[in-house]
Amino acid sequence: MIDDFYGVLGLTSDASDEEIEQKYADLKSKYSEERFKEGEEGNAAAKKLTELETAYAEIKSERKENRFSQDDNGYYKEIEAAIKRGDLAAAQNALDSFNERNAEWHYLQSVVFYKKNWSNDSKKQLEIAIQMDPGNEKYKTSYRKLNDKINAAENKTFTDYSGNAGDRRAETYDEDRQMGGDGCLEWCCQMALCNMLLNCCCNCR
């Protein structure tokens, strides 16, 4: 199918980007002028112009996707660079531009979600990446580490809440018990002293 689009430009798929741009510009100029001619010649030129625009758009899209999938110089490397410098908006925009989304795409989307502290969304993307490429150790290692962090965070939250609450209850109970005991003893001693004084006064009479 893509070869047909190259055929509209009179080129083959091994043409350079510069050749494609030049051929597109030449044909667009030609058909744009001819479409204003009268009769069938003008209609044919208008149709050719539409076919040219469609073919050019498809070729550009296909070449862009190919660059995305390259490991060394492709857009995946650019997305990784954007993530490393903290430009998550640029990374997300680049990811959103993909039509075909392979395992590496889902892995990088997972990283972006993780950087945004969206752990559950990050986990789902990693699961998709692993399903698409089960033998990829990078994906599986990242998934294990993410699971460990999620579990540790959940356990820490529960332990801190329970532990602190328990400590506060124990401290409050101990303080109340200590305060109650000292107050009672002091009051009892005062009352006993008063009774002794009263008894002495009564005996003197």
Provide the residue type at 113 as one letter. Answer: F
- Whether residue 48 lies inside any domain: the answer is yes
Cα angle value 97/111/151 (rounded, 5°): 145
Q: How confident is the model at residue 174 (pLDDT cuts 50, 70, 90)?
A: very low
pLDDT at position 10 over 60 = yes
Question: Of the residues 45, 69, 93, which one is the last residue of a structural domain?
Answer: 69
Residue 130: give its domain's CATH number.
1.25.40
Do 65 and 26 share a structural domain? yes
Q: Which two tokens stand for residue 112?
A: 């972006």
Amino acid at 158: F
Q: Which of 136, 138, 88 is nearest to 115 (CA)?
A: 88
- 11 and 49 together in one domain: yes
Average pLDDT, the chain: 79
* Contacts (Cβ under 8 Å, ≥6 apart) of 133: 102, 103, 139
Bigger pLDDT: 121 or 75? 121
Most confident of the ranges 83-87, 100-104, 167-171, 183-187: 83-87
Number of domains composing the chain: 2
Q: Which residue type, as a one-letter code, is found at position 60?
A: K
101 in a structural domain: yes
**What pLDDT score was predicted for residue 111?**
96
For residue 79, the SS3 value is helix
Where in the sequence is the domain holding 121, given as residue range(s)? 75-134
CATH of residue 61? 1.10.287
Residue 66 CB-half CA count within 13 A: 9
The CA distance from 34 to 38, in Å, is 9
| Domain's final residue, options 26, 41, 69 | 69
| Residue 205, in any domain of the structure | no
What is the C-alpha separation between 143 and 116, in angstroms, rounded? Answer: 17
22 plus 50 within the same structural domain: yes
3-state secondary structure of 98: coil
Q: Give the integer Cα–Cα distance in Å for 98 and 120.
A: 23
Q: Does residue 199 fall inside a structural domain?
A: no
CA–CA distance from 44 to each of 16, 26, 41, 50, 141 (Å)?
Answer: 28, 17, 5, 10, 58
Specify the range with the lowest mean pLDDT, choosing from 59-68, 82-91, 178-187.
178-187
Please give the pLDDT value at position 167: 41
The answer to whether residue 184 is domain-embedded is: no
Please tell me whether the overall predicted TM-score, pTM, comes out greater than 0.85 for this model.
no
Helix, strand, coil fractions of the chain, as percent rounded to 5 = 80, 0, 20
What is the structure's pLDDT at 131?
A: 94
